[in-house]
């Protein structure tokens, strides 16, 4: 699969907008006061701790299922004028910014970058693509309500889900494998 074929023209403007939302919210997350950062990091570690009790296969399956359900919800909920996909991208960017900043204060910037890198390489692009299709569907719903869009929404939904399973799902499988390895490797 080539990178250019990964993102079709349909979602390119939405992908760019959501990437900017993600970057801005990530940056905002790095400016959160220290007590709030520590509290959010502790919550994240507690969630990861719950996963440590699972065996490798179950851990992988749970992570993958959670991520697939979340991204499918983001695509489907896009029909509500794209609000939820935009919020999902913003909140994920903010949380990752908080975790990155907290990790950088504990172990330095390069180790912190290694901590968030697996999310940035596979999971975040999967979220951005899913949210872009959700936002695109939201725009199509609004256009249809205004009488400006003629193809049935069913066609748009089918296109979004074909692309979801061709692009987003494989990224989530790789992300779940990496996250499983990281959780199992934690002391």
Q: Which of 68, 75, 18 lies closest to 174, judged by CA?
A: 68
Q: Whole-number mean pLDDT of the chain?
A: 85
Which residue stretches of 7-145 are H helix?
Answer: 12-30, 34-52, 56-77, 83-107, 109-118, 124-145
Question: Does the pLDDT at position 4 exceed 60?
Answer: no
pLDDT interval class at 2 (50, 70, 90): very low
The answer for residues whose C-beta is within 8 angstroms of residue 179's C-beta and 6 or more apart is 63, 118, 119, 123
pLDDT in tens, 110-139: 888 877 777 778 999 999 999 999 999 998
List of residues 6+ apart from 60 with CB closer than 8 A: 176, 177, 180
At 18, the pLDDT band (50, 70, 90 cuts) reads: very high
Dump pLDDT digits (tens) for 52-67.
Answer: 677 778 889 988 999 9
Residue pointed to by tokens 């494989």? 170
Q: Note the pLDDT of residue 19.
A: 95
Helix (H, G, I), strand (E, B) or coil at 150: coil
Q: What whole-number distance in Å separates Cα of residue 140 and Cα of residue 142?
A: 5
Q: 74, 90, 81: which is closest to 129 by C-alpha?
A: 74
Separation between Cα atoms, residue 23 and residue 70, nearest integer Å = 20
């Amino acid at each position: 699969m080539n990178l250019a074929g990964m993102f079709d023209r349909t979602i390119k403007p939405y992908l760019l907008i959501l990437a900017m939302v993600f970057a801005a919210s990530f940056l905002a997350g790095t400016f959160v006061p220290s007590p709030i950062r520590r509290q959010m990091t502790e919550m994240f570690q507690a969630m990861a701790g719950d996963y440590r009790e699972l065996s490798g296969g179950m851990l992988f399956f749970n992570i993958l299922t959670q991520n697939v359900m979340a991204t499918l919800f983001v695509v489907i909920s896009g029909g509500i004028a794209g609000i939820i996909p935009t919020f999902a991208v913003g909140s994920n960017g903010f949380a990752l910014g908080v975790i990155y900043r907290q990790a950088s204060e504990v172990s330095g910037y390069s180790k912190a970058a290694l901590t968030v890198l697996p999310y940035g390489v596979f999971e975040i692009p999967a979220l951005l693509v899913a949210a872009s299709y959700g936002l695109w569907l939201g725009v199509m719903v609004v256009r249809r309500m205004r009488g400006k869009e003629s193809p049935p929404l069913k066609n748009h939904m089918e296109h979004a889900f074909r692309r979801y399973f061709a692009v987003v799902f494989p990224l989530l499988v790789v992300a779940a494998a990496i996250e499983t390895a990281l959780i199992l490797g934690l002391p």
